[in-house]
């Protein structure tokens, strides 16, 4: 071997050792008591004649496991539920792996403390992968959960996985000597009477599921506590197996019997269908539900949490490995539209999941309604969920599962406090808006969840009977019903939604002759780019940037005590964005234009904050696709990030968008949020700031807030005064109607498509490649915090909405056209009813506006 080759091999070996790829080092437990017990246990193993530690690992979150994190949330896992697993070095010396081979005489031991307060947790051990059968996920017995765990008064415990009697006794004795009492040692028996487990080099897995920490900070600490896991190699030579325990009986005389509510459940479904028909203006024909049936035969268990759960699904053929698909498209020749649910079947002594899969059409006209009992409310379970899963195949095999998780699903904690719940799923967000309160909630299935034309499934899971500590008894529960609505096949009811009874008075508008350009003050993330794309194809009005460029050139050096590096960077950014994109302080544009046709667009505060957040987050957590899709934007965002560094003020922290929002709402006083100059302060009344800042008063610009200039809370009176100076004011929330008003003011004529009797105005939409969070997906406490930070913006928006409606009403009087009737009033009310003092009735739009 050449010296260079040998050197390269040696260098690679050394790098692998240093990087932890070979013989990885396990971090010490964060819990001092666990660390001390672990030290004693290692000492016991060192002196044992029959047992030894072959390798060490840790209980680690799936997302924090190198390489294996690529497969998290892929195997039917529940959304928003942390998973951990016993990770051991692969083959004893490579990177940690959640799957490990276990010899008949050996054991795997976890030493840990009970998780902090959660709604539910469970340890479940699986036969994960069997070479002759593939990926199985077959549970081996009842789970160790929050209702049956053996632990000390302080919550310390051990969890042992083994099949051997002698090994179990020796490990138990060593644990007791280490400080873990017998009544705190939990045993997961690997069955020896199932052929192939030890002959076939099966790999096993122990998974910890955690649902809903009471204190997220404590939960985060637990997820990174490094509880130790040991592979114990036995050399005693005895092969007597532990007896295989039977699954616990689910029946209990005091179980909640939901079946007595069957008639009420059916009445609820009929009532909901009627409401849905009214909300969508569709004549719904009689619909037959797909009634989910128990997925398992009596005495069998299956994937993951079946020992702690009841799963439901339809139309399983008991004696066939092939799943007969439901034809739900109305066309027998199309195998594409099917509903899919999970099912257990026993094959060779094991229980497996199988699914019927379903396509949710991508054309946006399809709606799925899942009606279910609120099992938690009735105390039949600790919690329930409906998860959306996906598959590439139209049919699946019972013995070869091929199903993947998505991040989409709902749990009992998303439900209102009603006995019965109906949740909608659709690809069209407008349908969710139209449904409003006709359903308990609505989720949009995006391509990122299930690709267009892909197959999906809804799986109802009902977890942990609080009386028995096992999964609920299937016969006690009412399972979910599924309705599929193909809206384009249902007649449209032509009745137009009634106008609110109280509307703003008509307000006169200024009309120009078609040659006067629009001088636009662009408030960031209100639709300015979409307006620009639309007007580029229109003969009038012409969009003029001249006042913006004049305003940028007229800006003086800011009067501030902020660091000069921050001031210089901020001023450079403000000049560039004001000149190139009219993202100036409104007062600067108004002063530069003096008079003429001046306009701006505002947006409802919640939607505006979330849009700003998503853009800022995307800029800090970019993808190559987004960078290459708009490189100039990437450069501009890079300059803004340099400004953030100069001012020590950053608008994004966490890699997950929702966690980013949560952290900034919970920790508004973090150091890089309280500097003198705040960059992109999107929580703090951005729109009112844009309308009140002024370079002549020393402001750094729309994108910056200098707290030394008393800019922390903009003046509502000043913002309203600026609003009245604009000849045209549009709203993102009523974008089409705003553009119709713009065209009328530009030349005195109204496009035919603006009349309610015509098809709607088709407008471009520019999103910067970002997908904003929906307020509907946020918890009430998060929404309340956003509202508190945008109180001035809320009142500014309310006045802008009254102004727009009043001006549209005046146009109606002049032209005789119908403009207000086709405003989506129910959607507008639903999106803005949180604004204080805007609507007369919090339960309906029909009473109208408070004046």
- DSSP conformational letter for 397: B
3-state SS record for 232-297: EEECCCCCCECCCCCCCCCCCCCCCCHHHHHHHHHHHHHHHHHHHHHHHCECCCCCCCEECEECCC
- pLDDT exceeds cutoff 80 at 486: yes
The highest-confidence range among 32-41, 273-282, 466-475, by mean pLDDT, is 32-41
| Model confidence pLDDT, tens digit, residues 600-611 | 999 999 999 998
- Measuring CA to CA, which residue among 204, 208, 172 is closest to residue 191? 204
| Half-sphere exposure at residue 794, Cβ-oriented, CA atoms within 13 angstroms | 19
The two most distant CA atoms of the chain are separated, in Å, by 99
- How sure is the predictor about 249, in pLDDT bands with cuts at 50, 70 and 90? confident
Q: What is the pLDDT of residue 198?
A: 77
- Measuring CA to CA, which residue among 54, 175, 36 is closest to residue 103? 54
- DSSP conformational letter for 595: S
Question: What's the CATH class of domain 518-832?
Answer: alpha beta
Q: What is the pLDDT of residue 360?
A: 58
Q: What is the rounded distance in angstroms from the CA atom of residue 225 to the CA atom of residue 637?
A: 37
- pLDDT exceeds cutoff 50 at 325: no
Return the structure tokens found at 719: 């913002």
Cβ contacts of 11 within 8 Å, gap of 6 or more:
none
**Do 354 and 396 meet the contact criterion of CB atoms below 8 Å apart?**
yes
| Model confidence pLDDT, tens digit, residues 98-119 | 888 899 999 999 999 999 999 9
- pLDDT exceeds cutoff 50 at 323: no
Sort strands 704-706 and 420-426 into parallel, antiparallel or unpaired.
Answer: unpaired
- How sure is the predictor about 281, in pLDDT bands with cuts at 50, 70 and 90? confident
- DSSP conformational letter for 839: B
- Between 672 and 627, name the one with better pLDDT: 627
Residue 206 three-state SS: strand
- pLDDT exceeds cutoff 80 at 390: no
- How sure is the predictor about 3, in pLDDT bands with cuts at 50, 70 and 90? low
- Measuring CA to CA, which residue among 526, 509, 522, 602 is closest to residue 799? 602
Q: What is the pLDDT of residue 299?
A: 40
- Between 74 and 539, name the one with better pLDDT: 539
Q: What is the rounded distance in angstroms from the CA atom of residue 574 to the CA atom of residue 580?
A: 10
**263-277, 289-303, 434-448, 655-669: range with lowest mean pLDDT:** 289-303
* Residue ranges of the chain that CATH labels 3.40.50: 518-832
> Counting Cβ atoms within 10 Å, is residue 413 exposed (0-12), middle (13-18) or buried (19+)?
middle
Q: What is the rounded distance in angstroms from the CA atom of residue 401 to the CA atom of residue 128?
A: 12
- DSSP conformational letter for 845: S
| Model confidence pLDDT, tens digit, residues 328-370 | 233 333 333 333 333 333 333 333 334 445 555 545 578 999 9
Q: What is the pLDDT of residue 354?
A: 40
Mean pLDDT of 184-208: 85
| Model confidence pLDDT, tens digit, residues 758-799 | 655 555 554 444 566 778 778 788 899 999 999 999 999 999
Within a 10 A sphere around the Cβ of 521, how many other Cβ atoms?
A: 30
> Counting Cβ atoms within 10 Å, is residue 524 exposed (0-12), middle (13-18) or buried (19+)?
buried
**320-324, 416-420, 637-641: range with lowest mean pLDDT:** 320-324
H helix or E strand, kind and range, residue 718: helix 716-725
Return the structure tokens found at 682: 């999107």
- DSSP conformational letter for 788: H
Return the structure tokens found at 769: 């490649």
Q: What is the rounded distance in angstroms from the CA atom of residue 331 to the CA atom of residue 818?
A: 41
The highest-confidence range among 77-91, 197-211, 371-385, by mean pLDDT, is 371-385
DSSP 295-362: SS-TT---TTTGGGEEEEES---TT-SBPPPP--SS-TT--------EEEEEETTEEEEEE--EE--T
Within a 10 A sphere around the Cβ of 516, how many other Cβ atoms?
A: 19
* % the chain with pLDDT above 70: 78
Mean pLDDT of 635-659: 74
Cis amide leading into 541 (omega within 30): yes
- pLDDT exceeds cutoff 70 at 511: yes
- pLDDT exceeds cutoff 60 at 523: yes
Q: What is the pLDDT of residue 447?
A: 79
> Counting Cβ atoms within 10 Å, is residue 647 exposed (0-12), middle (13-18) or buried (19+)?
buried
Residue 485 three-state SS: strand
- pLDDT exceeds cutoff 70 at 687: yes
**Do 641 and 664 meet the contact criterion of CB atoms below 8 Å apart?**
no
Residue 544 three-state SS: strand
| Mean pLDDT (the chain, rounded) | 81
Go through the chain and tell me how many residues it has.
Answer: 851
**Do 338 and 358 meet the contact criterion of CB atoms below 8 Å apart?**
yes
- DSSP conformational letter for 462: E
Return the structure tokens found at 233: 């190699």
- How sure is the predictor about 194, in pLDDT bands with cuts at 50, 70 and 90? confident
CA 654 from chain center: how many Å?
14
Q: What is the rounded distance in angstroms from the CA atom of residue 649 to the CA atom of residue 656?
A: 19
- pLDDT exceeds cutoff 80 at 65: no
Q: What is the rounded distance in angstroms from the CA atom of residue 777 to the CA atom of residue 367?
A: 19
Q: What is the rounded distance in angstroms from the CA atom of residue 602 to the CA atom of residue 778?
A: 22
Mean pLDDT of 389-398: 67
Q: What is the pLDDT of residue 150?
A: 97
**Do 439 and 424 meet the contact criterion of CB atoms below 8 Å apart?**
yes
């Amino acid at each position: 071997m050449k010296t260079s080759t040998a050197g390269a091999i040696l260098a690679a070996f050394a790098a692998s050792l240093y990087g932890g790829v070979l013989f990885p080092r396990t971090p010490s437990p964060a819990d001092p008591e666990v660390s001390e017990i672990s030290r004693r246990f290692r000492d016991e193993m060192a002196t044992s004649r029959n047992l030894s530690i072959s390798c060490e690992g840790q209980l680690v979150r799936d997302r924090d496991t190198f390489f294996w994190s690529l497969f998290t949330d892929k195997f039917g896992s529940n959304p928003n539920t942390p998973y951990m697993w016993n990770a051991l070095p692969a083959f004893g010396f490579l990177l940690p792996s959640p799957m490990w081979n276990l010899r008949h005489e050996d054991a795997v031991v976890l030493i840990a403390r009970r998780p902090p307060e959660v709604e539910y947790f469970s340890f479940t051990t699986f036969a994960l992968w069997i070479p002759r059968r593939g990926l199985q996920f077959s549970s081996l017995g009842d789970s160790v959960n929050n209702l049956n765990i053996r632990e000390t008064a302080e919550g310390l415990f051990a969890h042992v996985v083994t099949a051997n009697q002698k090994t179990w006794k020796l490990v138990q004795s060593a644990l007791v000597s280490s400080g873990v009492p017998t009544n705190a040692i939990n045993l997961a028996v690997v069955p020896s009477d199932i052929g192939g487990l030890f002959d076939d080099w099966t790999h096993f897995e122990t998974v910890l599921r955690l649902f809903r920490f009471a204190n997220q900070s404590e939960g985060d600490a637990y997820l990174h506590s490094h509880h130790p896991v040991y592979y114990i190699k036995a050399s005693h030579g005895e092969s007597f197996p532990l007896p295989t325990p039977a699954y616990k009986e689910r029946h209990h005389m005091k179980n909640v019997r939901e079946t007595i509510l069957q008639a009420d459940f059916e009445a609820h479904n009929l009532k909901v269908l009627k409401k849905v028909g009214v909300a969508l203006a569709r004549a719904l024909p009689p619909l037959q539900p797909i009634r989910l049936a128990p997925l398992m035969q009596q005495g069998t268990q299956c994937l993951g949490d079946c020992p702690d759960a009841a799963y439901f699904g339809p139309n399983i053929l008991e004696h066939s490995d092939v799943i007969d698909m439901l034809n739900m498209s109305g066309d027998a020749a199309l195998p594409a539209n099917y509903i899919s649910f999970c099912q257990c079947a026993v094959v060779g002594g094991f229980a497996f999941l199988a699914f019927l899969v379903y396509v949710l059409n991508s054309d946006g006209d399809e709606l799925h309604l899942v009606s279910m009992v609120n099992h938690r409310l009735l105390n039949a379970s600790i919690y329930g969920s409906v998860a959306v899963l996906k598959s590439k195949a139209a049919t699946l095999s019972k013995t070869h599962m091929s199903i993947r998780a998505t991040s989409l699903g709902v749990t009992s904690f998303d439900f209102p406090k009603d006995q019965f719940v109906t949740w909608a799923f659709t690809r069209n967000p407008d349908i969710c808006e139209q449904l409003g309160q006709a359903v308990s909630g609505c989720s949009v299935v995006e391509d990122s969840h299930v690709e267009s034309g892909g197959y999906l499934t809804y799986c109802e899971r009902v977890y942990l009977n609080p009386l028995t500590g096992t999964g609920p008894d299937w016969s006690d529960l009412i399972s979910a019903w599924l309705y599929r609505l193909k809206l384009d096949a249902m007649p449209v009811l032509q009745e137009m939604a009634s106008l609110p009874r109280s509307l703003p008075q008509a307000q006169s508008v200024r009309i120009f002759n078609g040659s006067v350009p629009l001088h636009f003050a662009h408030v960031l993330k209100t639709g300015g780019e979409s307006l620009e794309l639309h007007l580029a194809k229109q003969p009038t009005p012409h969009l003029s940037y001249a006042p913006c460029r004049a305003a940028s050139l007229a800006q003086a050096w800011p009067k501030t005590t902020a660091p000069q590096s921050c001031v210089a960077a901020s001023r450079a950014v403000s000049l560039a964005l004001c000149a190139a994109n009219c993202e100036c302080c409104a007062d600067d544009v108004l002063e530069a234009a003096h008079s003429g046709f001046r306009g701006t667009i505002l947006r409802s505060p919640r939607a505006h904050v979330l849009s700003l957040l998503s853009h800022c987050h995307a800029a800090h957590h970019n993808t190559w696709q987004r960078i290459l899709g708009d490189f100039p934007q990437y450069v501009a965002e890079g300059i803004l990030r340099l400004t953030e560094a100069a001012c020590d003020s950053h608008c994004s922290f966490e890699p997950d968008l929702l966690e980013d929002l949560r952290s900034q709402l919970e920790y508004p006083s973090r150091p890089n949020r309280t500097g003198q100059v705040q960059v992109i302060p999107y929580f703090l009344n951005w729109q009112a700031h844009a309308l009140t800042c002024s370079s002549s008063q020393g402001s750094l610009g729309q994108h910056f807030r200098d707290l030394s200039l008393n800019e922390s809370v903009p003046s509502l009176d000043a913002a309203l005064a600026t609003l009245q100076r604009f000849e045209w004011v549009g709203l993102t929330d009523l974008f089409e109607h705003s553009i119709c008003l713009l065209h009328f003011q530009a030349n005195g004529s109204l496009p035919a498509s603006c009349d309610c009797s015509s098809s709607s105005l088709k407008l471009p939409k520019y999103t910067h490649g970002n997908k904003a969070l929906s307020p509907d997906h946020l918890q009430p406490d998060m929404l309340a915090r956003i509202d508190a930070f945008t109180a001035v913006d809320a009142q500014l928006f309310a006045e802008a909405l009254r102004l727009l409606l009043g001006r549209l009403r005046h146009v109606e009087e002049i032209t005789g056209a119908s403009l207000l009737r086709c405003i989506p009033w129910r959607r507008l009310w639903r999106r803005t009813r949180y604004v204080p003092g805007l609507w007369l009735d919090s339960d309906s739009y029909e009473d109208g506006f408070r004046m």
